[in-house]
Copies of this chain bind each other. A is one copy, B any other.
């Protein structure tokens, strides 16, 4: 398998964690999101993914996009080390937690949106950072509310083994730390992040451990 990735991309980071948890080897193809106006916007990469976003995963003659769709595919094609619980209600809970990050938080704060705020909209750097921290905190607060109230929360987001929800939580916390968002209001999120950080599969997926890290 071949993964189009960027070391600091949250969405690529999720897929790297899932691949590592399942012990699946892959070739990393770095796509530099800032160099030359963004390699993801060049025709060569748009032919892979018309959305001009990373990641994309190539498996045989299939090219897959969207991090959660890729992880569900890995789950179906490599069911060992399951990243979803067995019961439908548990699966729905894990998917909802994952989407709280992957749909309600990260798309508001990713690179193309930040570039649009200061580019086309001409807003100040400071306004952009307020935007970033606002939506990041909103998302963290929802995650915390779910995780703190539900009996299904364990060492990880759902029970005592990592799931797709943890694959999403960890990159989001990385972003929070990078932009100095205080994690004190989100103690369950922070505790789960720390538990994940102990696991080699998560460590190997960390941006700083990537071949294209700067």
- Residue A104 lies at the interface, judged by CB distance under 8 Å to chain B: yes
A142 at the interface (CB under 8 A from B): yes
Encoded as 1 (CB less than 8 Å from any B CB) or 0, chain A from 102 to 126 comes to 1110111000010010001100000
Residues on the B chain within 8 Å of A146, using CB: 50
CB contact under 8 A between A103 and B103, given known A76-B91, A127-B121, A134-B120: yes
* Distance in Å: Cβ of A65 to nearest Cβ of chain B: 5
A77 to chain B, nearest CB (A): 5
State the number of copies, please: 2
**Closest residue of B by beta carbon distance from A102:** B103
Tell me if A80 counts as interface (CB < 8 A to partner B). Answer: no
A44 at the interface (CB under 8 A from B): no
B50–A103 CB distance below 8 A: no
Closest to A68 in B: B99
Q: Check B64–A96 contact: CB distance below 8 A.
A: yes
- Give the distance to chain B from A131, nearest Cβ to Cβ, in Å: 8
- CB contacts under 8 Å to B, within A59-109, are 62, 64-66, 68-70, 72-73, 76-77, 88-89, 91-93, 95-96, 98-100, 102-104, 106-108
CA distance in complex: A111, B173 (Å): 25
Per the bound structure, the CA–CA distance linking A50 and B93 in Å amounts to 13
Query: Is A196 interfacial (CB-CB < 8 Å)?
Result: no
Check A66 against B108 for contact (C-beta < 8 Å). no
Is A145's beta carbon under 8 Å from chain B?
yes
Could you pull out 12 A-B pairs where Cβ atoms are within 8 angstroms? A50-B141, A50-B145, A62-B89, A66-B95, A66-B103, A69-B98, A77-B88, A102-B103, A103-B103, A103-B106, A116-B134, A121-B131
Given A66-B95, A70-B92, A108-B113, 9 additional A-B pairs, CB 8 A: A50-B142, A50-B149, A66-B103, A68-B103, A69-B96, A72-B95, A73-B89, A103-B103, A103-B106
